[in-house]
Amino acid sequence: MKKEPFVTYEQLKEITKKYPTPFHLYDEKGIRDNVKALKDAFSWNKGFKEYFAVKATPNPFLINILKEYGCGCDCSSLTELMLANALDFAGNDIMFSSNATPANEFKYADEIGAIINLDDFTHIDFLEKTIGRIPETISCRYNPGGLFKISNSIMDNPGDAKYGFTTEQLFEGFRVLKEKGAKNFGIHAFLASNTVTNEYYPTLAKTLFETAVKLKEETGADIKFINLSGGIGIPYKPDEEPNDIKVIGEGVRKVYEEVLVPAGMGDVALYTELGRFMMGPYGCLVTTAIHQKHTHKEYIGCDACAVNLMRPAMYGAYHHITVMGKDNEILTNTYDITGSLCENNDKFAVDRRLPKIDIGDLLVIHDTGAHGFAMGYNYNGKLKSAEILLKEDGSTQLIRRPETPEDYFATFDCFDILDKMKF
Ligand SMILES: *Cc1c(COP(=O)(O)O)cnc(C)c1O
């Protein structure tokens, strides 16, 4: 199978006349079609809501597109909560799924009415001391431990993950929260990441639904929602079969009807906190080949680096690369595609078969729409790039300007040394 960029070579040549590379480009049409398909797949559940995982792509323009479809925000920190609040999301449209949470973040989440999803049993006391009470609506994150398996293959290792309550803590936690005045309960779990299988959500749902039934029976808690969180993956590699969200929705429906409905829990709302699935394929990093180096290997040096996309350096993650205008040429060369950091991990691809690349060629690095720009950092004093939206009508809009040296030095503005430095 071939992976096609969502932008044509002709379009991209026009775009780069206006905006110099590197930049992240986002596909409005792709984002809209995908969120519609997600909503449709879960339309059988009356209370269904996607709380977009803001950390994946914290851009207000992109989040506002999802807001049009009734999505909320899932936040993990103070600034993400501030962003959601600034975009006028109602309190119950904001989920605060944090961990090792600082007190001021709980305080702020409570002030804006966000739903707090506790990561740990000890956070019950911590929250009560911090905000002076337990909110009426509260959620707990569950971690059953062990290995998470689907049809005998290991998907992930929750037993090794820092998140969530154990089973015993969850039951005890619900009892304690109820005593302290909580009325509306939610359960949340995130047990495997980037799953490229239609079975993940239904398997996770079964665990959560069965736990919810027991929790209701044993603690009397009124469970209003079950949050399947993130984890639906995307096919980064061209030979991977994409998830079918309709099949996933139907798979979850089947388990819902088998487990929750007979237990008299047919009114429980389902929530998701997808990040990667919502945005991943609808963003790409556009960079120009600026150097060729022939040493012990063949290198192409780009004007983007790991600061713009960290996943390959951090996880060895595969991101497909298209050499624009050479899409139909045979893969004659083997390259390492590198950035300019003084850090040997700074490679977007290692030993990648590609058409012959010439200096000035535009490279599209696929599937950077989630956990792409957002993971950026400033090592080597490198600056973060612009973000640009390719709109449905083919026009473009700048949705984040590139960083400038002034931004980089801004945190020295409380000292007089900046005045003495000349840029
Ligand atoms: C990161 C995260 C998500 C989103 O994960 P994806 O893999 O992007 O779907 C959702 N919920 C929580 C709590 C997270 O930490």
pLDDT tens per residue across span 142-188: 999 999 998 778 889 999 999 999 999 999 999 999 999 999 999 99
Res 218: pLDDT? 97
- In ligand 1, the atom with minimum distance to the C-alpha of 55 is 1
Angle at 254 between CA 253 and CA 260, to 5 degrees: 80
Residue 15 in contact with residue 391, Cβ under 8 Å? no
- Provide the pLDDT for residue 327: 85
Q: What pLDDT score was predicted for residue 420?
A: 81
Over residues 321-336, mean pLDDT: 95
Q: At what angle do helices 123-131 and 167-179 cross, to 10 degrees?
A: 30
| Contact between 99 and 75 (Cβ < 8 Å) | no
Under CATH, which architecture does the 28-280 domain have? Alpha-Beta Barrel (3.20)
Nearest atom within ligand 1 for CA of residue 56: 8
**Residue of the nearest CA to atom 7 in ligand 1?**
231
pLDDT computed for residue 170 by the predictor:
98
Between β-strands 347-354 and 321-323, what pairing exists: parallel, antiparallel or unpaired?
Answer: unpaired
Residue holding tokens 């497909």?
320
Instruction: Give the distance (Å) from ligand 1 centre to CA of residue 162.
Output: 14
**Sign of the CA dihedral 244, 249, 250, 251?**
positive
Q: Which of the four pLDDT bands, split at 50, 70 and 90, describes residue 417?
A: confident
Residue 342 annotated among the catalytic residues of the structure = yes
Rg of the chain on CA atoms, in Å: 23
Q: Which residues are 195's β-sheet partners?
A: 232
Which of 229, 234, 277 has most ligand 1 atoms within 8 Å of CB, for mutation?
Answer: 229
Q: What is the predicted pLDDT for the residue at 202?
A: 97
The label of the residue with tokens 């929602």 reads 225
pLDDT tier for residue 419 given thresholds of 50, 70 and 90: confident
Q: What percent of the chain has pLDDT over 70?
A: 100
- Determine the atom of ligand 1 nearest the C-alpha atom of 193: 7
- The distance of Cα 22 from the centroid of its chain, to the nearest Å, equals 21
Report the residue among 35, 55, 142, 191 best suited for mutation to probe ligand 1: largest number of ligand atoms under 8 A from its CB: 55
How far does residue 230's CA lie from ligand 1's centre (Å)? Answer: 4
Residue 132 Cα to ligand 1 midpoint, Å, equals 29
Of 40-44, 93-97, 400-404, 414-418, the range with the lowest mean pLDDT is: 414-418
Please tell me the predicted confidence (pLDDT) of residue 404: 96
Sign of the torsion formed by the C-alpha atoms of 164, 170, 172 and 178: positive
**pLDDT tens digits for 176-224?**
999 999 999 999 999 999 999 999 999 999 999 999 999 999 999 999 9
Q: State the distance from the centre of ligand 1 to the C-alpha of 75, rounded, in angstroms.
A: 10
Residue-level pLDDT at 94:
98
Task: Among 40-54, 143-157, 398-412, name the one with the lowest average pLDDT.
Answer: 143-157
- CA 31/CA 23 separation, integer angstroms: 18
Closest ligand 1 atom, residue 280 Cα: 8
Atom 9 of ligand 1: nearest residue by CA position: 230
pLDDT at position 234? 98
Q: Whose CA is nearest to atom 3 of ligand 1?
A: 230
pLDDT digits (tens, 9 = 90+) for 256-300: 999 999 999 999 999 999 999 999 999 999 999 999 999 999 999
Q: For residues 39 and 208, what is the distance between their CA atoms, to the nearest angstrom?
A: 21
Identified catalytic residue from 73, 75, 305, 342: 342
CATH 2.40.37.10 fits 281-412, yes or no: yes
Domain ranges in the chain are 28-280, 281-412
Q: Is the pLDDT of residue 423 over 80?
A: no
Task: Out of 200, 273, 277, 278, give the residue to mutate to test ligand 1, the one with the largest number of ligand atoms within 8 Å of its CB.
Answer: 273
Q: What is the residue-averaged pLDDT of the chain?
A: 97
pLDDT at 35 over 90: yes
CA 2 remoteness from chain centre: 24
Distance CA 385, CA 16 (A): 13
Confidence of residue 2 (pLDDT cuts 50, 70, 90): confident
**How far apart, in Å, do the first and last CA atoms of the chain sit?**
49
pLDDT tens digit string along 343-391? 999 999 999 999 999 999 999 999 999 999 999 999 999 999 999 999 9
276 CA: nearest ligand 1 atom: 8
Pocket of ligand 1 (CB under 6 A): 53, 55-56, 74, 76, 97, 190, 193-194, 229-231, 273-277, 370
> What does the pLDDT read at residue 152?
79
Tokens 């911090």 — which residue? 130
pLDDT for residue 1 is more than 80: no
pLDDT of residue 422: 73
Compute how many other C-beta atoms are within 10 angstroms of the C-beta atom of residue 219.
Answer: 20
Q: How far is the CA of 232 from the centre of ligand 1 (A)?
A: 9
